[in-house]
Amino acid sequence: DASDIEKGTYPHYMLKEIDEQPAVMRKIIQNYQNDSGELQIDQDILSAMNDSDRIYIIAAGTSYHAGLVGKQFLERMAQIPVEVHISSEFGYNMPLLSKKPLFIFISQSGETADSRQVLVQIKEMGHKSLTITNVQGSTLSREADYTLLLHAGPEIAVASTKAYTAQLAVLAILAEVTAKSRDIEVPFSLVQELGIVANAMEVLRDSKEEFEAIAREYLSVTRNCFFIGRGIDFYVGLEGALKLKEISYIQAEGFAGGELKHGTIALIEEGTPVIALATQKFVNLSIRGNVKEVVARGANPCIISMDGLNTDEDRFVIPEVHELLTPLISVVPMQLISYYAALHRDCDVDKPRNLAKSVTVE
């Protein structure tokens, strides 16, 4: 049938969509570049960014995790304070808003009811909104003041992969262009760095057997799995845990490296897999200290580090990219490990139980 043709030679949409990520990166760069090769965003959107004293990112699921990383981009590059909220909570438990808020809705489908409910509310309050979505003409896009598109192509698998990395790329572009419009210097070329990211994604795409082996070794029979990281790696760990839960049904949780000892370390038993991310130089020693803590309690550690920060104990080393952009790369092993874990456990990768691709009820 038609879906077989679209999948081509791939056994699952999820694997196809993971593999499409380098091409999506290049497409995004193309779509956001002007004739002179500079990244560009509509002036209306830049004015809204610069008129606001605080940005409120509203999203659900994987898009919420993209928002957590987006906050780092926007605060560090454009120096605008950002809050990130789960849409289903924000609607009923609204925080005290700043004087000039700008709302950014992140939604692959543009149809998530929880997010739409917030959009309706904040519009009634007279606030401006920007939707970042993969679907042109979607509800959240039509109803917001502005839209930025992901250009990721249709995402069919329920577990979001290429939309997440596309969301990060578009958020980084928004942050960089906003920074420049405020005369804040960005000390690197984002176009160049995103190109490096696309190449690094290709390296990972060619290392699939390694992730299949990791999934087999750590996740074939386990009941649970923990993901730890510090700083921006923590947010990728949250997304890694969500991916694994969604498709393999393994109980998985992401934690800030230093927080595990305040309770959750009680769950570590002999052989419990702990996947640790180490891509950030300033916390490289401390996350490795956290790994030692869990190993002392019997954990089976799987350290995924970045080239230049790696040690002999690491299970996989990702190619070096700019330290702010590591989530675009470090999430790929999370996606592939989850994919193979689900496969080894005979789960329906593309259509996991109890889940829908877009949730149009509150």
Residue 77 or 158 with smaller CB distance to ligand G6P: 158
What is the rounded CA–CA span in Å between residue 38 and residue 230? 32
Residue 224 or 358 with smaller CB distance to ligand G6P: 358
CB of 311 to ligand G6P, least distance (A): 34
Binding-site member from 21, 52, 112, 280 for ligand G6P (CB under 6 A): 112
Binding-site member from 158, 274, 306, 336 for ligand G6P (CB under 6 A): 158
Residue sitting closest to ligand G6P (CB): 61
Contact indicator for 101, 56 with CB cutoff of 8 Å: yes
DSSP track, 133-157: ESSTT-HHHHHSSEEEE-------S
Residue 36 or 354 with smaller CB distance to ligand G6P: 354
Piece of the chain touching ligand G6P by CB under 6 A; list 106-114, 176-184, 187-195, 263-271? 106-114
Q: Per CB under 6 A, does 108 bind ligand G6P?
A: yes
* DSSP code, position 283: G
Residue 153 or 319 with smaller CB distance to ligand G6P: 153
**Residues belonging to the active site:** 357
Contact indicator for 198, 24 with CB cutoff of 8 Å: no
DSSP reduced 3-state for 288:
helix
Q: Which of residues 60-99 bind ligand G6P (CB under 6 A)?
A: 60-63
Residue 157 or 265 with smaller CB distance to ligand G6P: 157
**Tokens representing residue 16 in the block:** 């196809």
CB of 165 to ligand G6P, least distance (A): 13
Piece of the chain touching ligand G6P by CB under 6 A; list 2-10, 23-31, 104-112, 279-287? 104-112
Please give the C-alpha separations between residue 6 and each of 13, 83, 163, 359, in angstroms, as whole numbers: 9, 38, 18, 24
Please give the C-alpha separations between residue 213 and each of 123, 203, 240, 338, in angstroms, as whole numbers: 49, 17, 17, 12
DSSP reduced 3-state for 59:
strand
* Torsion over CA: 233, 25, 72, 92 (sign): negative
Q: Per CB under 6 A, does 107 bind ligand G6P?
A: yes
Neighbours of 191 (CB within 10 A): 15
Please provide residue 339's backbone torsions phi and psi, each rounded to the nearest 5 degrees: -60, -50
Task: Annotate 151-170 with b (16+ C-beta within 10 A) or e (fewer).
Answer: bbeebbbbbbbbbbbbbbbb
Binding-site member from 147, 160, 161, 248 for ligand G6P (CB under 6 A): 160
Binding-site member from 40, 98, 117, 358 for ligand G6P (CB under 6 A): 358
Piece of the chain touching ligand G6P by CB under 6 A; list 39-47, 142-150, 264-272, 354-362? 354-362
What is the rounded CA–CA span in Å between residue 129 and residue 12? 35
Residue 146 or 316 with smaller CB distance to ligand G6P: 146
CB of 201 to ligand G6P, least distance (A): 20
CB of 113 to ligand G6P, least distance (A): 9
What is the rounded CA–CA span in Å between residue 153 and residue 142? 19
CB of 64 to ligand G6P, least distance (A): 7
Q: How many residues of this chain interact with ligand G6P, rule: CB under 6 A?
A: 16
Residues of this chain that interact with ligand G6P (CB under 6 A) are 60-63, 107-109, 112, 115, 158, 160, 355-359
